[in-house]
Structure 1
Amino acid sequence: MKTPQNIQLIGPEVAIVWNDGTESYFTGPELRAASPSAETRGEKDIFGNQYGGGEQKSFANVQVLSFERVGNYALRFDFSDGHRTGLYGYELLAELAARHR
């Protein structure tokens, strides 16, 4: 599994150097739109009813203010719109990075 070796905020982007030597760059709007949180994606109850999420919003001016590692599997970003509940697993970040290629 790819894991971040170095993570930095560089201007409006989050830069990640992975353990295989590749580099990825993400913008705040891109990361905010991809948030895996229940607030953004919604969640289902045991009957399959969807609650929350679903409505796509514009995150054009959202910036990443800071980040922190969560265990050995994810990053949590603090966004300028106050969002901070999504845990971005390394696998999700690697998938987002692959879309740039």
Structure 2
Amino acid sequence: MSAPLPKDIKLHAKSKTLELIYSDQEQFELSAEYLRVHSPSAEVRGHGIGQETLQTGKQLVGIKGLEAVGNYALKIIFDDGHDSGLFTWEYLYDLCQNYETYWDRYLKALSDAGQTRHGNMIARG
């Protein structure tokens, strides 16, 4: 079963969020940071299981632009220069539906690595 296509997409530059509207009852607002650290690019995901690169210091990242890629994906251009991941409609919908799980997993990975969303090392005593 394929994911629904958003009826509207709004980039909110000031709040650094991307709003995806699927219906009156189903709307999501995803932060640029969340999208950046979950980019489907090889830089983030690697080329296979276990080759992922934990993204740090992305709390203040913003979105410079959006480009439709055919009828299947959205290219998000981040203000840190990253623009190589293609967010398919299925992947974007998955990110919306599983936000809490993915965000909690990311925060735990940062903590386990002794990193923060700012990118600074956590002092260990």
TM-score by length of 2: 0.67
Identity %: 33
The two structures, once aligned, show a CA RMSD in angstroms of 2.1
Deviating beyond 3 angstroms after TM superposition, the runs of 4 or more aligned structure 1 residues are none
- Report the Cα offset of residue 74 of structure 1: 0.8
1:25 to 23, 26, 29: 29
Q: How many residues align?
A: 95
The gaps in structure 2 that reach 5 residues or longer are 101-125
- Report the Cα offset of residue 40 of structure 1: 1.2
Alignment of 1:45-64 (within 5 A): 50=51, 53-64=52-63
Alignment of 1:1-101 (within 5 A): 1-10=3-12, 11=14, 12-18=16-22, 20-21=23-24, 22-44=26-48, 50=51, 53-100=52-99
- Report the Cα offset of residue 81 of structure 1: 0.5
State the alpha-carbon separation in 2 of the partners of residues 55 and 83 from structure 1: 15
Deviation digits for residues 62-88 of structure 1 (CA, Å, limit 9, x no counterpart): 111111111111100010100000000
Letter in 2 for 1:67: L
State the alpha-carbon separation in 1 of the partners of residues 75 and 87 from structure 2: 6
Larger relative strand fraction: 1
- Report the Cα offset of residue 58 of structure 1: 2.8
Q: Equivalent residue of 1:81, what SS?
A: coil
Q: Equivalent residue of 1:43, what SS?
A: coil
Q: Equivalent residue of 2:84, what SS?
A: coil
State the alpha-carbon separation in 1 of the partners of residues 44 and 99 from structure 2: 22
